[in-house]
A and B are shown apart, each in its own frame.
Chain A
Amino acid sequence: MLELIWLVPALPLAGFLTLVAFGRRLGEPLAGWLATAAAGGSFIATVLVFIGLLGEDGHSRQFQQVLFDWIPLGSLKVEAGFLVDPLSITMALFITGVGSLIHLYSIGYMHGDEKFSKFFIYLNLFLFSMLMLVFGNNLIITFLGWEGVGACSYLLISFWHTRESAAVAGKKAFVTNRVGDWGFMVGTFLLWTTIGTVTYAEIGPAAHALTSTTGTAVSLLFLVAAAGKSAQLPLYVWLPDAMEGPTPVSALIHAATMVTSGVYLLVRLNPVLTDDALTVVAIIGAATALFAALSAVAQHDIKKVLAYSTVSQLGYMFLAIGSGAYVAAIFHVITHAFFKALLFLGSGSVIHGMHDEQDMRKMGALRALMPITAGTFIVGWLAIAGVPPFSGFWSKDEILLAAWEKSPVLWVVGLVTALLTAYYMSRQVFLVFFGEARWSEEGDHPVHPHESPWTMWVPLAVLAVAAVAGGAMNLPLVADWLVLEHFLEPVFEHGHLHHFTSSTGTKVGLAVVSVVAGLIGISFAAGAWLLRKISTNKLEPEFLENAMYVDAAYAKVVGGPGQKGFDMFAAFDSNVVDGAVNGAGRVVQMVGRFIQPAQSGYMRQYAIGIALGGLALVIWLLTGVV
């Protein structure tokens, strides 16, 4: 069944092509159902491939399918091929699974939008690109997918491009991601020139040949790439703005799948990563986690909270990679995909029910009116807050343990982040679903909150189940229960997978501390926002609401001295470069006019030309001189 792998990306591609050709004619809701069917088919194909892979022996679980040799130039041999191994199949399972649910959800959410079919064209294209990214058997194919998901991301952020802010946000995402792409490309070139291959299966065995300096350079370049795509400091600024896109897009692309591709890339390249580079990754991850959690504390927009929360959780994943705990990183990628997609879709359901209202200050007491949304949202909240036995607890706990073994300082940062996470998520839940209603069914802006249609709540329910039970993939207490770790282990054959050394007592102690931290965060939020026992005046400082003014500072630099620099480049380009090019053109034109008379149109002159040319050739060949 492994041979079916080509079907996995082929189905969304087929859906995309069909919709490009007939999407408008199919219209609503057929276009949406077709796209959903393509995504669902892709999920089924992934499951079949997964079953096929399980049939193989533990350490030979690696299957490559080469479609054709793509670029056979010189020593650079690039195949268009797929690599099926535990890592790629794990990623693909939740990408297609969560992806299918979000496709289904979008049918309800995008109801009535005039660009309904276009939305699903992008969604299918995104899914195809994401699968190419994950399944590509070399860096070049991954890069194609990387650019593909990026393009879909920009297109979907500015999907409602008549809205000025949406257009600007799309542009911002594009520009910021270029920095990451630079890292990806230079890293690929450097890897190719030093070890002569860009194919994953060959990188592993060849990686030991890298000197530590080159290895660190390569690692850091790919870190730049990953930081751009996965919104790490200092390149995170585009992700909060990306919330301008439709909510299903925020859930699929900007929470569950695309933003984790940086994590995937680093885990995939684990044989290359050096210890020095890993320390940098850990520090950036921890700093991002804390910084974004602080920023999330004071947001008013329901989606902005989730956006900063996503950045913060991605920081956790980087922290895990930096600590060498790749399995923990992937574990958190999966559980995060479940609960964050759930939270985003839930927020979308709220926004839908509140007639496009996104400000949490104008919500409240929605629990009774939207029972399914509220119930599932609460599950997502408990999962992200790290309450056992919800999935988020297990994956976060593993990361904190890895951080502890790397350095207690990192652990403290992670713990504070966990406390903050529990706090801001509780604040959100209490503001939206509990307390008194801060909206009214009458007045200037009448609102009639209502539960969403089944296409929207079914995905919520499925994701809620996954968010509860997802932790079962990797339970730490008994070695045999570490299913995910045993499954992924072959991927790290050539790298240095961190194995936990702490005693059981330490493990339990750390877990208890993190649970307590989470409970403190929840209780504090309950006191402030539910029971209103604590004054909330100073809990939303402007400094944090504006995310510590980092964005504003960027804007100032880019708009001020940056603008001058760009103008200088533009002037250089239009005067010197264009001047040189146009000048060359003009010189050539002058030469052309000079020799133009030879092309007189008279046959006798042409004949003489031929004869003279022939004579010159004969003389030259005979004597060696003209």
Chain B
Amino acid sequence: MFAQLTQFESPPVDFFSLTPLFILVGGAVVIMLVTSLSPRPIPGWFSTAVSVAASAGAAVVAMVLWNDVRESGPYSTVSDAIGIDGFSLFFTVLVSLGVIATALVGDAYVRREHIAAPEFHALLLTAATGAIVMASANDLVVMFIGLESLSIGLYILAAMQFRRPHGREAAMKYFVLGAFSSAFLLYGIALVYGTTGSTSLIVIRERTSSLGAMVSPSELLIVGIALLLVGFAFKVAAAPFHFWAPDVYEGSGSPVSGFMASVAKAAAFAGLLRVVVVALGANEGDWAVPLAVLSAISIIVGAVMAITQNDVKRMLAFSSVGHAGYILVGVQAATAEGMSSALFYLFAYTFMVIGSFAVVSVIGWDNGHPIERYEGLAKRRPWLAGAFTVFLLAQAGVPMTAGFVAKFLVIKSAVAEEIYWLAILAMVASVITAFMYLRIVMAMWARDADVDDAPRLAVAPATAFVVAAAVAITLVYGIIPDSLIEFTRDAVPALVAGN
């Protein structure tokens, strides 16, 4: 028996390629160890600092790896289970930036809500690790592990506002429905494994494309794809699998909602692109049209439902459903151009939505976020109102903002594939949603608002920094999108085996 054990060979691991993951997990461990072992209470900013430093380190290492990949091409490690390519590194950078922004906004938030800072930041880091694993996975099982690390972190983050009834309810809903949808995904994985004989995305792609005759018309594979779609659609909050999103976004703390809408959505899209669009690309005929329909439903539901809301956080939640639909417009095109447009959209949206929720977090209130609370904000805090206006206009797709370029690119990729109905629908819907965004903008800039007895708003420097940086990114990539477009063009996933 011992003899058998010695025969087990661990796969070769290129540790340097995995450094971003180690840094993030290491950061979480440092936070937990130091704060539990220290005899004196550690101030909250320590956790924030570690969180920001770890994410910044991960982003820097990812940029170094990015350079390697550009020079010597993408590769895989840990027995081909983890892929290091432009795609995974793009998401490493995006997720790290998302964590930095969320940690900085969360700093003031955890203090105000009396939430345990170490746990908040440690969970952010582990969830982010899961997100990066999802984007780098070359294996369905690894992908699932990443998904669960991300989700479990998010369940707890959503529950941290447990002192509020809405918060408890939201966490519970998110957990149960999340587990429910994970089951769909797991079933899908099982069926794909059953029909192709492997969980490796590289092998799956080989078998589905070259041996099309063997597996193609296998009903089981198609059912597997359908179930995978359900699982991912739930995570990206695409209709009709979006019902959880408004309740959860509303009930969670605003920084957490921003994290869900940006990082978690980005990771789920990364999984969808890697598994369905690339690994199962040969079956495009089966999933492309359903994805287009999901996209259309999401855009319509996002637009229609957002307009009827009176709560700013719920508006942002439904608009997030709509944005998932727009990103799907790029995904369903199933071309390199479509994928890079989806990546551009994710990048741009990340900063718009984190910035929006940062503003919401500043306004914060115990009993929801009715739009009336935003009336006259321009008089009380002109810069904050100005920043929120930029985020909202960007989400509406107004030119000179990154939101416009993002919408333009996804719609262009649909037009290039001659899917005109979806392109037209996307354009019309963007006009309708503009109505909702402008409602908030007009409320903020209303001249006759009575703001005399409104409470003073304190904007923490860290939050102000995030808002300013997000405005800068939104405007800069709206005016000179070229460098980001180049970046996303190099970030299309490559499934290659070996080093």
The contact of A622 among B176, B180, B222, by CB within 8 Å, is B222
Verify B173–A596 contact, CB threshold 8 A: no
- B287 on the interface (CB 8 Å rule)? yes
Q: Can you name the residue of chain B whose Cβ is closest to the Cβ of A585? A: B435
Interface assignment of B234: CB less than 8 Å from any CB of chain A: yes
Q: Does B85 contact A (CB under 8 A)?
A: no
User: Knowing A585-B435, A618-B227 touch, does A592 contact B307 (C-beta < 8 A)?
Assistant: yes
**Interface residue total, chain A, C-beta cutoff 8 A:** 35
Contacts of A73 in B (CB 8 A): 408, 412
How many A-B Cβ pairs are below 8 Å? 97
Cα A622 to Cα B431 with chains together (Å) = 35
Interface residues of B in 431-450 (CB under 8 A from A): 431-432, 435
Number of interface residues of B (CB under 8 A): 41
CA gap between A141 and B2 in the complex, in Å: 75
| Bound Cα distance from A613 to B240, whole angstroms | 6
Shortest A137–chain B CB gap in Å is: 16
Flag B287-316 by CB within 8 Å of A: 1 or 0 each: 100100000000001011101100000000
- Chain A residue with minimal CB distance to B297? A613
Given the complex, which residues of B lie within 8 Å of A74, measured CB to CB? 412
CB within 8 A of A599: which of B177, B246, B408?
Answer: B246
Considering the chains assembled together, what is the distance between the CA atoms of A71 and B483 in angstroms? 10
- For A612, what are the chain B residues with a Cβ–Cβ distance below 8 Å? 240
Contact A609 B243 (CB under 8 A): yes
Shortest Cβ distance from B247 into A: residue:
A601
A301 to B480, CA, bound (A): 48
Instruction: Let me know if B432 and A584 touch, CB within 8 A.
Output: yes
> B284 interface residue, CB < 8 Å from A?
no
Q: Does A593 contact B (CB under 8 A)?
A: yes
A625 within 8 A of B: no
Find out whether the CB atom of B229 lies under 8 angstroms from the CB atom of A591. no
Q: Which residue of A lies closest to B219 (CB)?
A: A622
Chain B residues with CB under 8 Å of A607's CB are: 176-177, 180
Contacts of B230 in A (CB 8 A): 610, 613-614, 617
Measured between beta carbons, the chain B residues less than 8 angstroms from A596 are 305, 308
> Which chain A residue has the least Cβ–Cβ distance from B233?
A613
* A residues in contact with B244, CB < 8 Å: 606
In the complex, residue of chain B having the shortest beta-carbon distance to the beta carbon of A78: B482
- A606–B225 contact, CB under 8 A? no
Contact A620 B223 (CB under 8 A): no
Query: How many angstroms between the C-alpha atoms of A598 and B301 in the bound complex?
Result: 11
Query: For residue B225, which residues in chain A have a CB less than 8 angstroms away from its CB?
Result: 621
Query: Which residues does chain A contribute within 8 Å of B432, judged by CB atoms?
Result: 584-585, 588
How far apart are B176's CB and chain A's nearest CB, in angstroms?
6
Determine the chain B residues whose CB is within 8 A of the CB of A441 once the complex forms.
none
Contacts of A561 in B (CB 8 A): none
Within 8 A of A (CB), among B417-473: 431-432, 435
Bound complex: CA A609 to CA B173 (Å): 14
Return A346 CB to nearest CB of chain B, in Å. 42
Interface status of A553 (Cβ within 8 A of chain B): no
A335 to B412, alpha carbons, bound, how many Å? 51
Q: Which chain A positions have C-beta within 8 A of B226?
A: 614, 617-618, 620-622
Q: Is A589 an interface residue (CB 8 A)?
A: yes
Q: Smallest distance from the beta carbon of A168 to chain B beta carbons, Å?
A: 24
Q: Chain A residue with minimal CB distance to B303?
A: A588
Report yes or no: B180 in contact with A610, Cβ–Cβ below 8 A: yes
**A585–B234 touching, CB < 8 Å:** no
Q: Is B485 an interface residue (CB 8 A)?
A: yes
- Whether the Cβ atoms of A72 and B184 lie closer than 8 Å is no
* B304 and A592 form a contact (CB under 8 A): yes
Distance (whole angstroms) from the CB of A604 to the closest CB of chain B? 10
A609 and B246 form a contact (CB under 8 A): no
CB-based nearest B residue for A592:
B308
Interface assignment of B96: CB less than 8 Å from any CB of chain A: no
Q: Evaluate contact between A610 and B234: CB separation under 8 angstroms.
A: yes
Which of A581, A591, A610 is within 8 Å of B181, CB to CB?
Answer: A610
Q: B372 contacts the other chain (Cβ, under 8 Å)?
A: no
User: Does B155 touch A at the CB level, under 8 Å?
Assistant: no
B241 close to chain A: CB less than 8 A: yes
B14 at interface (Cβ–Cβ under 8 A)? no
Given the complex, which residues of B lie within 8 Å of A622, measured CB to CB?
Answer: 219, 222-223, 226
16 extra interface residue pairs, beta carbon distance < 8 Å, beyond A606-B244, A622-B222 = A70-B480, A70-B482, A581-B435, A588-B304, A591-B304, A592-B304, A601-B247, A603-B172, A603-B177, A609-B243, A610-B184, A610-B234, A614-B184, A617-B229, A620-B290, A621-B287
Q: What are 6 A-B contacts with C-beta separation under 8 Å? A: A68-B482, A592-B307, A596-B305, A613-B240, A614-B227, A618-B227
